[in-house]
Structure 1
Amino acid sequence: MTSTPTPPAPVALVRAIQEAMCEALRDGSVGRMLLPPRETVEDASGAKFISMPAVSPDHDLYVNKVATIMPSAGAGSTVTSVVPMFSASTGRYLGTLDGATVTNLKCAAVTALVTDRCAAPDSRVLGIIGSGVQARQQFLGVSAVRDLAQVRIWSRSPAHAAAFARDIEASAAGRPVDVVVCGSAEEAGRGVDILSTATTSAVPLPIPAELPAHAHINCMGAHTTASREVPAELLRTSVVIVEDLRTAIAEAGESHAGALELGALMSEEADGFPWRRTVFASTGSAYLDLITCAHLVTSQAATGGVPEPGRDR
């Protein structure tokens, strides 16, 4: 069974997956997962073939998000991905979910989780640099946990930024959210409570020095060991959070060596984070894909869709 892509997730679904992630971090099931490093094979044309497996005895689930990233004639790349699922105890095939749907839900939910633990409770102003799919997940994730009064957007494409602004206004459903299309990245970030970056930039974005001392940044875009969206100085002077430290160092460089993993957000230490500058430097991890899949499997099983792990239909 292969699912088709779904419309943007409602806030309730994002919150439910956010809570599932929190529960898995609290109860130790993340630590009991088998999480080999992701594998990436690249050919001479620049095409990439990716495998991200994860096995959870607690969730009785084995998933492997497989993807292709193909260079296109224009800007950007074409990404195709699926997530086959199996019972970890019986080996039984449970179905295949659309990879983009799983990724988008995961990104919105983990953004909600980190933002809720790190952003000041009264945060009202969100800046977003970028206007693509991941930028939309940033709005969805942040708005799931904070009552926003203003959203500022900047993109290299003014037309894309304007379309994104219209989408936010339409999704606000009468709530008083002021959406501003900015003329520069500096304007989008100046003085905000929360800043989300979701771009393909290989050089640090011009994040303004006037960021408040309590500002929280979700850095969700391109990264390598030698390049990233945010300046190295910002990482050095902030509390940095990553999904998995081993992956972050391997894929985003030694500048992340002192970062905290998501599990630290469940401790009392994190209670002071809303009053410090924090950066969520996302590099992705298969355990979050697995938790997202587990939630979807359970909810679909309740409606007669994908069977629950370990059970016959």
Structure 2
Amino acid sequence: MTAVDAATDVDAPQVRLLSGADVDALATVEVGLAAAEDAARLVTGGRITTGRVQVNGPVAWMRILAGTISDLDLLGYKEFHRVGQRVKYHVHLFQESTGNALGIVDGRRITSLRTSATAAAAVRHWAGSEPVRVGLIGSGEEAREGLRAIAGAVPVHEAAVFSPTPANRASFARQMSAELGVTVQDVPAQADAIAGCDVLYVATSSHHNAFLHAADVADVGLVAAIGSTQPVHRELFGDVFSAADRVVVDTPDATHESGDCIEAVEGGWDAGSVTLLGDYLGSPAGDRSDRTVFKSIGSVEQDLVLAHHLLRAAEEQERGAVVDPVGSLRIMR
């Protein structure tokens, strides 16, 4: 190997590593909202390229979601792999213009953090500064992150949660009431969570069977549905989209990758009528007269932008481990 083949990259910066504990400490609502709004606006700019790959082996599987975000001079990927019940997540970031590694971020909470922050950005724009009552269907991690983010984005004066397992929703209500200082009611029926709410956050693991019709949410100002992210998933029946005054999506892929939207299209709903979140955030805020559906499936640029914001916060707060770069420089002919 000659000097032309390989060289010491003396200008490469050190790399910052963020553990799960670092992410927990850095992941404030403010950081999440700033990242979500940045990602939403970048999506409308068109300077993003993404791709994905999944490999399934006899023992383990791995999925990699990669992207370049030229406006941030960023390139990277989120990977997660599973062996039995063990799942690990990481986000790797690089500078697009040089290829230099910037950091590795523990990705365990990245998905739920970016999902909740993206929804909270839509809620804040719809609600303005007025207090809201939040209904939640689902009591898992996604619902917890969702209520945290919404309560950090707008004043929440009350919340109600329903899920099919009484113990889970009771635990949710106790924990979130104590954490947020907001009365969170544990209710025994889906209709009780919906009744009187301004914002309905739907975050379930429902796969094949939708459970919310337009008539069920006719009096809800904003329905944020984040649990149906694949063609086989269902939460909302198609008529919810047709009956809405406005449908906002976090990514154009939502209209053909979410089972909810696929069913709506099959029923005659025009997927071309959607508003991208970035465009919605650029419209006048605080218009509660529109019955709005926010549909999120997530996207890799949201993951990368959030990891980028976390790395910036870590640098400001001197958190994480800083190490010398790994990866020799090779000069290609």
Q: TM-score range by the shorter chain?
A: 0.7 to 0.9
Which residue of 2 is the match for residue 300 of structure 1? 314
Residue from 200, 204, 208 that aligns with 2:210: 204
Distance 1:205 1:100 in 2: 29
Return closer, same or farther for 1:65/1:245 CA change in 2, 3 Å cut-off: same
* Helix, strand or coil at the partner of 2:241: helix
Offset, 1:65:
0.7
Offset, 1:228:
1.5
Whether the aligned pair in 2 keeps the contact of 1:124 and 1:146 (CA below 8 Å) is yes
**TM-score normalised by structure 1 residue count:** 0.82
Whether the aligned pair in 1 keeps the contact of 2:26 and 2:314 (CA below 8 Å) is no
The residue type equivalent to 1:16 in the other structure is V
Residues 1:217 and 2:223 are matched in the alignment: yes
User: Is there any run of 5+ residues in structure 1 with no aligned partner, and where?
Assistant: 73-77
* Helix, strand or coil at the partner of 1:114: helix
Q: Describe how 1:108-257 pairs up with structure 2 within 5 A.
A: 108-119=116-127, 121-172=129-180, 175=181, 177-202=182-207, 203-206=209-212, 209=215, 211=217, 213=219, 215-238=221-244, 239-252=246-259, 253-254=261-262, 255=264, 257=271
Distance 2:317 2:23 in 1: 20
Return closer, same or farther for 1:29/1:150 CA change in 2, 3 Å cut-off: closer
Which residue of 2 is the match for residue 56 of structure 1? 69
Offset, 1:161:
0.9
Whether the aligned pair in 1 keeps the contact of 2:214 and 2:239 (CA below 8 Å) is no
Which residue of 2 is the match for residue 83 of structure 1? 91
Which residue of 1 is the match for residue 113 of structure 2? 105
Instruction: Write the deviation string for residues 166-190 of structure 1: whole angstroms up to 9, x where unpaired.
Output: 1112112xx4x22211111121112
Offset, 1:125:
1.1
Which residue of 1 is the match for residue 328 of structure 2? none
Larger CA deviation: 61-70 vs 276-285? 61-70
The residue type equivalent to 1:22 in the other structure is E
* Helix, strand or coil at the partner of 1:66: strand
Bigger Cα Rg: 2
Q: Describe how 1:8-87 pairs up with structure 2 within 5 A.
A: 13-23=28-38, 25-26=40-41, 28=42, 31-41=45-55, 49-68=62-81, 79-87=87-95
The residue type equivalent to 1:118 in the other structure is W
* Helix, strand or coil at the partner of 2:112: helix
Residues 1:5 and 2:48 are matched in the alignment: no
Distance 1:63 1:52 in 2: 9
Distance 2:159 2:130 in 1: 15
* Helix, strand or coil at the partner of 1:180: strand
Offset, 1:41:
4.4
Whether the aligned pair in 2 keeps the contact of 1:119 and 1:214 (CA below 8 Å) is no
The residue type equivalent to 1:288 in the other structure is Q
Return closer, same or farther for 1:29/1:169 CA change in 2, 3 Å cut-off: closer
Which structure is higher in RCO with an 8 Å CA cutoff and minimum separation 6? 2
Offset, 1:193:
0.5
Larger CA deviation: 14-23 vs 291-300? 14-23
Which residue of 2 is the match for residue 94 of structure 1? 102
Whether the aligned pair in 2 keeps the contact of 1:189 and 1:207 (CA below 8 Å) is no
User: Is there any run of 5+ residues in structure 2 with no aligned partner, and where?
Assistant: 1-15, 266-270, 326-333
Offset, 1:115:
0.6
Aligned-residue CA RMSD (Å): 3.2
**Hey, which of these two has a bigger chunk of strand by percent?**
2
Distance 1:93 1:12 in 2: 22
Return closer, same or farther for 1:96/1:12 CA change in 2, 3 Å cut-off: closer
Return closer, same or farther for 1:17/1:71 CA change in 2, 3 Å cut-off: same
Distance 2:242 2:281 in 1: 23
* Helix, strand or coil at the partner of 2:93: strand
Aligned sequence identity (%) = 25
Task: Report the number of matched residues.
Answer: 299
Which residue of 2 is the match for residue 261 of structure 1? 276
Whether the aligned pair in 2 keeps the contact of 1:9 and 1:105 (CA below 8 Å) is no
